[in-house]
Structure 1
Amino acid sequence: MKNKSNIYIGLLMSLICCIGFTSCDNNLDKMNVNPYGIAPGEVNPNLLMPTILASAAQSYADLGVNDLAGAVQHTQKNGWYGGHNNYGWESKDWTGWYDILRNNDLLYNRAVELENNYFQAVSLTMKSFVFGNITDLWGDAPYTNALRGNELDPNFQYPQFDSQEVIYDGIIADLQTAVTLFNDANTTAVVPENDLYFGGDIAGWKRFANSLLLRYYMRISTKKPDVAQTGIEAIYASGEYIQSVSQDAALDYTGGASDIWITRHIAMDPDDFQRYQACQTFIDQLMRTNDPRLPVWFAPVRVQWEADESLEVAAEDFIRNDGEPLGVITYPFDDFVNDYADENFTRRYNPNLVSYNDAEYVGLPPSLMVPESYNGNPSPGQGTQNQHVSQLADIYQSAGTPGDILKARLVSSAEVSFILAEAALKGWNVGDAETHYYEGIQKSLTVWEQEANYDSFIAEEGVIFNNTLEQVMEQKWVASWTAAAEAFADYKRTGYPNLATGPQSPQPRVALRFQYGNDEYNNNADNITDALERLELTDYSGGFGKDSQWSKSWLYQGTTAPW
């Protein structure tokens, strides 16, 4: 009976399909029209801009506080830390970046149809910014024939991978075109509120485009020094680039649940927030130079170790409040320490029996085997509070909007000053390296509301200008806090700062790139093969072959940087 019923059902469905196709054949085009959608040819560019600008800034800031913050050793995590601490970048997906590019492509096409130079130039600037991040992180990628999947030629559904050189050249050409378009643009059709970066200010966008040009000219400066020098000198001479903190290309933090800021985790998932902890590499730098930004970014340890050689045990199993023992046995404390925020909590150990870091600020060393147990944490566990390691400062766990200090900065005036300092060290005609170096520091201190400490800070040993690239890149690395994508690119290009990996790293060197995602292998296999052939194996590529985090893309091939 069951088989017979299935036959009848199959015949009935076939009959229905035949009738359906017969009666609807001439109306298939109408069936595929979304009555609630807006045709691409009717989209208002103002409505596209917020999605493009917010998504790009948030994706960039996400890199800066997550995986790349771990790679450049600003932070480490004590839970779910494979990608953050140990370069677990296998099969990294770039779909989100290409989603931004698809919306941006629609913006560009509508701008061309409307003959609107402003929207064209904005679109070219954002295209350059997004493709810049893609090639910085992966290397070769679909570029020339990307975003053409809606065309009749089926080959465009599986675009070729352009070389990294072609992509950088295209980025620079598009930014040059954007600057020219901004010169002849007007904002009569622009809704300022929808321009989340500059509120419809053409001069702001032109400075942003030129500053991106400075960034990417410096990226290629080893491979194409003449091109880079000519471009950077011309932009410097024009004066039309980001020169002050008020001109930074940035997206304000809104406090909304859609923001990627780790700040939101305290309300949505406190355990997730607690996984972010300082990296000892960064803490060492900040403490060595008495950097006033240290307490802005990180909290002191909640319970500081205190050496006591008279102890008969390795460490006390209780804490002290202003030196007096408390009836609290180890941890977890729940909110105990928070309830007594002004108290001085310590715990004693015998340095002859055990080694602990007893500084006021303590970070996790990079790539630890078991970071959640570091420095004598008595209640280890993924995402638990380690009272003996510094977490992020309180401003990062505010449930509301914490003011103007937190932003997603796409290009900052501090970054631009350090670029010019590096260019001056090369002997290029961009002014004085020392002046640009100190201006970069001053602008970063201003961003983090520490400008009052500028004079004392630049007098510190190690901060006083010594005319070396290493020092310039070191201070640029510090200033790139929450914008770690730039520190990562700089490290790969220059080898500074000098970063060492830890025991859990699969290779004894810092990784260089993301692996291509599984979608490319499954759907674009022929084209990805050519891209893989253009990668350079290194001594650390390991078992992944050419698509390894430790293989070199075009920009670093033939160089000794960073290793």
Structure 2
Amino acid sequence: MKTYYKFSFLLVFSVLFSCKDLTELNVNPNGIQADVANPNLVLTTVLTEAPKLYLNLGFGDISGVMQHTQGDAWFSSRNDYDWAGSQSWTAYYDVLRNNQMVYNRAVDLKYEFHQGVALTMRAFLFGLITDLWGDAPYSNALKGDLGGNEYTMPQYDTQESIYAGVLADLEKANTLLSKAMAEYQGIDASADVIYGGNPAKWRKLANSLALRYYLRISAKSAGTAKTGIEKIVANPTQYPIITEATDDATLAYVGNNAGDSWPSNAVYDASGSNYRRIKMCATLVNAMQAINDPRLGIWAKKVETPLVVDATLPAGTDVIKDGKRYLSPDKVGTTPINTNADYVGLPPSVSALPSSYNLNPTPGQLSYNPHVSYLNDSYKAAKGALLKARLVSAAEVHFILAEAALKGWAAGNAQTHYESAIKASLATWGVASLATTYLANEGVKYKGTLEQLMQQKWMASWTAATESWFDFRRTGLPALTPGPAANRRVLPVRFYYMADEIRINEANAASAINQLQESAYSQADGKNSAWSKSWLLKGTAKPW
């Protein structure tokens, strides 16, 4: 029997391979071969998936950390920082592998535009990974196809060296993207879903990202940061940057299916829970109400049924009349409530049952709370003019330069940049015509303080709160505090290394964890804690 099967196998094998050699047979007809792929086909994947990952952070859990939004169902990660073991960088490295394919093919084909774009996206993604985790696989991270343990189980590069690599990539991208569009080969405008194949705009993005990362490292490498920012500002022709909202690096959601639609949409989410469970956070709502911020109505929905407590009502009164819920004081007792008739935010990490806040009559996972502000109805849609993932904005760039100017660096006039940042943000959200009135508001009028600047930058980071979190870590501003149900008494500062990585790449992960600085808030987590400090914060008193 063994002899028969052996003979049959050899016969079939010889028949097959008499016609084709091994290289022909090993071509997957349904796959894309890395050495012959058209980089435009893969570029679109990179330019859609990376922004979606970034938006999912800034509109998701980090929006909760920075108190833009809160959840009242499936809320523990958003409100309370219940993150242990739940965070993974796999999706980021998946995109980076595709991006490396784009870069390698672009080098082979001498497509300089694609090289510049790929380097910019590489910097964006590796910068984000080290921002979130600290030390991470970098120099050997995308070489698994070479074999060898040093590539399949890569060492972790230091956070400091990754930032240096990010800035070097952006410098190279600036040079590669410095020619007119007609001088490049291989551009397919339809493949570039961010800038339509426009190298000048990509060049602005690369240099704007460089500003972001120079400021990021400013507390640890002030000289490098100062020199880098001043170099860019002093040479606008050689280092153009994003200064107008029309040049913002954005990805518009197209709304064709669940995968390319806004994450809180109620179109492909039949239950509507992705929208229903998200509420405006009281911290943001109160701050915006205090200065009559015109963006609040763009982002938030007014309370459906305001609460009215009336001491003249008979004891036991709890009635809905004329669109309001009237209560006698005894029905409220000592329970904290918010009777604002327009907007009511959910306080951060308010309790173990946040859906019960403000006397909600139907608390629970399927709650519908008529006494708290939902997001604007536009966030139910699958797509829309404002439903975009925003990588870098003109508002952020002007805020960066305003802060640099406040430090005394040669970055322009701090007040001019502060006001330009606010104007750019208002333009982004469709209320540019209200800029003059808003800037004249006493609470907005320029005072020359870092606190005011960071407060406005925090508000302008709506749906992109991840950058605001990184700013908070660096400055401690705005001075946010967790609510009573949060896992710690201070905000977290990093992501946990995931359990699979610690198990599979054990030695390298352990070495990286050992580099973290434990804090009083790390507690039982040990060094691999969301409250331990990576190189960027080690030895500093920030943010706590």
TM band (smaller chain): over 0.9
User: Counterpart of 1:252?
Assistant: 252
Among 451, 474, 485, which residue is 1:493 paired with?
A: 474
Change (3 A) 1:30 1:267: closer
Among 365, 382, 387, which residue is 1:382 paired with?
A: 365
Q: Percent identity?
A: 43
Determine if contact 2:401/2:414 at 8 Å carries over to the other structure. Answer: yes
User: Counterpart of 2:35?
Assistant: 41
Give me the whole-angstrom Cα distance separating, in 2, the residues matched to 1:551 and 1:17. Answer: 60
Name stretches of at least 5 consecutive residues in structure 1 with no aligned partner. 1-10, 322-343
Give me the whole-angstrom Cα distance separating, in 1, the residues matched to 2:176 and 2:10. Answer: 51
Alignment map for 1:517-528 (pairs within 5 Å): 517-528=498-509
Shift of 1:345: 3.6
User: Counterpart of 2:345?
Assistant: 363
Shift of 1:397: 1.4
Shift of 1:16: 4.5
User: Counterpart of 2:186?
Assistant: 189
Alignment map for 1:70-469 (pairs within 5 Å): 70-91=64-85, 92-184=87-179, 186-239=183-236, 240-257=240-257, 258-259=259-260, 261-268=262-269, 269-313=271-315, 316=318, 318-321=319-322, 344-350=323-329, 353-354=333-334, 355-359=336-340, 360-369=342-351, 370-399=353-382, 401-402=383-384, 404-469=385-450
Give me the whole-angstrom Cα distance separating, in 2, the residues matched to 1:82 and 1:102. Answer: 32
Shift of 1:259: 2.7
Name stretches of at least 5 consecutive residues in structure 2 with no aligned partner. none
Determine if contact 1:303/1:347 at 8 Å carries over to the other structure. Answer: no
Change (3 A) 1:227 1:315: farther
Give me the whole-angstrom Cα distance separating, in 2, the residues matched to 1:272 and 1:18. Answer: 60
Give 3-state SS (helix, strand or coil) of 1:554's partner.
coil
Determine if contact 2:308/2:324 at 8 Å carries over to the other structure. Answer: no
Change (3 A) 1:383 1:230: farther
Give me the whole-angstrom Cα distance separating, in 1, the residues matched to 2:52 and 2:290. Answer: 32
Give 3-state SS (helix, strand or coil) of 1:347's partner.
strand
Give me the whole-angstrom Cα distance separating, in 2, the residues matched to 1:226 and 1:534. Answer: 24
Q: Letter of the 1:218 partner, please give it.
A: L
Change (3 A) 1:223 1:346: same
Q: Letter of the 1:543 partner, please give it.
A: A
Higher mean displacement: 365-374 or 265-274 = 265-274
Higher mean displacement: 51-60 or 351-360 = 351-360
Change (3 A) 1:521 1:462: same
Give 3-state SS (helix, strand or coil) of 2:260's partner.
coil
Count of residue pairs the alignment pairs up: 527
Shift of 1:29: 6.0
Q: C-alpha deviations, 1:435-480, integer Å up to 9, x for none? A: 1001111110111111121122112222111111111111000000
Determine if contact 1:310/1:350 at 8 Å carries over to the other structure. Answer: no
User: Counterpart of 1:532?
Assistant: 513
Q: Letter of the 2:124 partner, please give it.
A: F
Note the aligned Cα RMSD (angstroms): 2.0
Shift of 1:307: 1.8
Change (3 A) 1:17 1:549: farther
Determine if contact 2:112/2:184 at 8 Å carries over to the other structure. Answer: no
Shift of 1:23: 6.0
Determine if contact 1:62/1:261 at 8 Å carries over to the other structure. Answer: no
Give 3-state SS (helix, strand or coil) of 1:437's partner.
helix
Give me the whole-angstrom Cα distance separating, in 1, the residues matched to 2:298 and 2:286. Answer: 16
Give me the whole-angstrom Cα distance separating, in 1, the residues matched to 2:516 and 2:149. Answer: 27
Q: Letter of the 1:38 partner, please give it.
A: I
Give me the whole-angstrom Cα distance separating, in 1, the residues matched to 2:485 and 2:26. Answer: 53
Q: C-alpha deviations, 1:204-254, integer Å up to 9, x for none? A: 000000000000000001111111111111111222100101111111121
Shift of 1:266: 4.7
Give me the whole-angstrom Cα distance separating, in 2, the residues matched to 1:178 and 1:22. Answer: 55
Higher mean displacement: 425-434 or 150-159 = 150-159
Give 3-state SS (helix, strand or coil) of 2:308's partner.
strand
Q: Letter of the 1:365 partner, please give it.
A: P
Shift of 1:64: 1.0
Give me the whole-angstrom Cα distance separating, in 2, the residues matched to 1:28 and 1:189. Answer: 32
Q: Letter of the 1:165 partner, please give it.
A: E
Higher mean displacement: 259-268 or 158-167 = 259-268
Alignment map for 1:51-62 (pairs within 5 Å): 51-62=45-56
Q: C-alpha deviations, 1:378-419, integer Å up to 9, x for none? A: 1001242210100000111135x33x2221110000000000
Shift of 1:285: 0.6
Q: C-alpha deviations, 1:514-544, integer Å up to 9, x for none? A: 1111220121001001100100000000111
Shift of 1:180: 1.1
User: Counterpart of 1:341?
Assistant: none
Change (3 A) 1:559 1:21: farther
Give me the whole-angstrom Cα distance separating, in 2, the residues matched to 1:170 and 1:387. Answer: 50
Change (3 A) 1:389 1:32: same
Change (3 A) 1:22 1:208: same
Q: Letter of the 2:508 partner, please give it.
A: N
Determine if contact 2:316/2:328 at 8 Å carries over to the other structure. Answer: yes
Normalising by the residue count of structure 1, what TM-score does the alignment of the two structures yield? 0.90
Give me the whole-angstrom Cα distance separating, in 1, the residues matched to 2:6 and 2:126. Answer: 46
Determine if contact 1:242/1:413 at 8 Å carries over to the other structure. Answer: yes
Change (3 A) 1:372 1:21: farther
Q: C-alpha deviations, 1:273-329, integer Å up to 9, x for none? A: 10010111111110111111111100111100012012344650x3112xxxxxxxx
Determine if contact 1:532/1:547 at 8 Å carries over to the other structure. Answer: yes
Determine if contact 2:170/2:210 at 8 Å carries over to the other structure. Answer: yes
Shift of 1:15: 7.3
Change (3 A) 1:438 1:314: farther
Determine if contact 2:116/2:176 at 8 Å carries over to the other structure. Answer: yes
